[in-house]
Amino acid sequence: MGRRKRLSVLLKYCGHRSLADLQKGAQSAAHYLGLIFAESKRKVEVSQVKQWLEAVELNGKKLVGVFVNSELEYIRFVAHSVPLSVIQCHGHETVEQVAAIKKATNCLVWKVIHHREGALGNMKKYARVVDGYVVDSRVNGAWGGTGVAFDWDAVPFYIEEANRQGVPCFIAGGIAPHNIDRLLSYQPHGIDISSGIEENGEKSMAKMIEIEKKVMHSVRYAK
C-alpha cells in the first residue's frame, strides 16, 4: 500500500514497537511517528529502530522520540543514533532541562502536560522554550498510553494558551475511532494516538484509515 494524502490536522501515531508497526505507520497519513525510549510495554531499543529503518521508507514522516525523566546523555545518544526530528518530554522535566535537551540534540522539543488542576499554569512556564505541547490524561502509575481520556471540555483552554505561545498543541489519551469526532469538534492543532489504533497489541491499518477518514471529513465540514 502506498502513502495516502496528508491531513491538515496534525496527526501523530505513537508507540510503534515492531517493524510491522512502523511499516503501517509509514503507509498512513500521519505526520509524525512516535517511538518510546522509556519504561513502557511499548519501549523500543535504539538497535531495533536502526534495523527497522533500514527496511522502512518513512515517506517524509518525522520521528518523535518519547522520553520520561531521562538523563541528558541518554537522550543525546538516542538522538544521534536515530534520525529524530522531535524529542517529547513526558515526565517532570523542568524548563532548564528542556532547554538543555534542545541544545544537546538540535531537535524540536515537545512537553507533555498532564491534565489536572494547575496544568494550564504549568504550561505557561514553558513559553518560548518548547516547540509544542501534548496534553494527556493523568493516570496514577502511568505516564501515557493508557487509553484513558481526560475531560475534553478543557481542550479549548490548552489550545488558546498554545496559540498565545505560537506553538501546536496535540491532544492525547483515550482517542479512538468511536470518539474522535467529539474531539475534532474542538478543532485541536493535532491528535496523538497510541492504543486507539491497536488491535491485539499491534497497530491496525484499518483503525488508522478510519481515524484519517474522520479527520478529513471534519476538516471539510469546518470549511
* pLDDT tens column, 7-43: 679 999 999 999 999 999 999 999 999 999 999 999 9
Whether residue 192 is contained in a domain is answered as yes
Q: Tell me, what CATH number does 125's domain have?
A: 3.20.20.70
Whether residue 139 is contained in a domain is answered as yes
Whether residue 4 is contained in a domain is answered as no
- With 70 as the cut, is the pLDDT of residue 5 above it? no
Q: In sequence order, what DSSP letters do the residues of 90-108 get, joined into one string?
A: -S---HHHHHHHHHHH-SE
Taking the C-alpha atoms of residue 57 and residue 87, their distance in angstroms, rounded to an integer, is 21
* pLDDT tens column, 126-149: 999 999 999 998 655 444 445 568
Taking the C-alpha atoms of residue 217 and residue 55, their distance in angstroms, rounded to an integer, is 33
Would you say 62 and 56 are in contact if contact means Cβ atoms under 8 Å apart? Answer: no
* pLDDT tens column, 46-104: 999 999 999 999 999 999 999 999 999 999 999 999 999 999 999 999 999 999 999 99
Taking the C-alpha atoms of residue 111 and residue 44, their distance in angstroms, rounded to an integer, is 20
Q: Which residue has the cell 505513537?
A: 14
Taking the C-alpha atoms of residue 192 and residue 169, their distance in angstroms, rounded to an integer, is 10
- Three-state DSSP at 193 gives strand
Whether residue 40 is contained in a domain is answered as yes
Containing domain of residue 30, as a range? 10-222
Total number of domains constituting the chain = 1
Rounded to 5°, the CA angle 87-216-179 comes to 75
